[in-house]
A and B are shown apart, each in its own frame.
Chain A
Amino acid sequence: MSKQQQKQVPPTPNRRVTLFVTCLADLFRPSVAFACLDLLEEAGCEVVVPTDQTCCGQPAYNSGDREAAIPLAQQVVSLLEPADYVVIPSGSCAGMIAHHYPSLLTGEWRERALEVSAKTYELTVFLQDIVGIPPRSPIKAARTSVTYHDGCAGLRELGIQNQPRQLLKNLCGVEVDELKQSEVCCGFGGTFCAKMPEISAKMVDDKLENALATGATVLTGGDLGCLMNIAGRARRQGKELEVRHVAELLADQRDIPAIGEGQ
């Protein structure tokens, strides 16, 4: 059972979901956000996308600039407060909101952050554990071999591991080819990859090597930061690997080019 599942927000018949698309999906991979819309609607949810959303403040927070992170966190808390459920296609941003906001904010804001935290879910956790997306008939078979990269925040802060694999199986008929050292970081780490690029490159090379060793043609995962890092390095190294966010696979949106691929 995931850590998020234990929070027990009783599902209401009319599930109104607020989608926080994340800044990376907004700017670099809108198809992920559209895939989320499709999936949530398929699961019978009414989806609201606040158009005032920008960034959760993670770059500032992790770089040691709380002064800059706090107003952003407050902005996000205010934005998400009216929601019944908040769904985020990123373990890292969901972890920031659900796990770190309550310790970043103080006083009344902390209380408000805790309320938002209690109804915030990463996409695959929400689909698998909370709404339980109905099985498809027939399954839209991905007809490909897939390996999965577990983002660190999702894995360790939110306990996400089984949910995306189960969804890939139920919705796409895909059994994940597990990569070795799957619990090891890909070297993204937010600003880390730009501050310490050489070390980051060694880490992402290890990840790529393990991914390619599975023989899978597609690498997927729940965090765009990791996926852009892995795809960017694969392109630079001339390695063949189709990198996509798990929402794209689940929503069967493989017609657009993979991350870092041309037309």
Chain B
Amino acid sequence: MSNSSRAELLDKLRDTASGQSAGRIELERNAMGSGNAPFVSANNLSLTYLQNVLANRGSITCVANRNEAVQAVGNYLYGHFRSHRLVAGNDPRLAAMPWRDAGVLPRFGSLEEGEPAALSYAKLGIVETGAVVTYTGKGNPCANHLLPEHHLVLVDVNDLVLNLEQAWEKINGDLGKDGRPRGINMIAGPSSTADIEGQVVYGAHGPRRWHVILLGEVPEETRELAKNNAPTD
């Protein structure tokens, strides 16, 4: 049934199309270049990034190294849940973290009912919009960013990109190298809805809280911002 519709439709569209060859169409698209992005100062990317995460109603922490990172995760979990229960994807970068030092022993896998928090390691952080990028796979089972009460994300400061165009440059590079992941997720805040009287409420279906831990060397100004906006319980 839909096969005949397909042929019929494509024939009809071809009749009205420009009739150009694929090569020319590609050239025409190339000539259009990229769209303009909002201006982002390259001066202190980490600062702008974290400001945008805050604007997205995320909370933030800045850590200099992996030891501090696991401590920050431990502190966050204890602060919110008085426990260190955590689920993390099978991401080698997460597995290699010194969890014992912080007394956190993540369960590596997919979030199950009753588990309140999950941790992801972002592929990228997009400064323009304060988003993180993850790919689905063993390292990022979808339940881990869609179902927990709190979603924690580690972002390496070296993985920050200026804008969406730069994000695609990196992502397209990965796609070329490793094939296409099932899902590419850009996440920019806790799950939210404004469907009742236009009032914004967080925790619509997914995480009620979204916490970004920026890992790496950052300017003092960035650390100050994080310190002044330390997550509350």
In the complex they form, do A and B come into direct contact, defined as C-beta atoms under 8 angstroms apart?
A: no
**A→B interface (CB under 8 Å):** none
**B→A interface (CB under 8 Å):** none
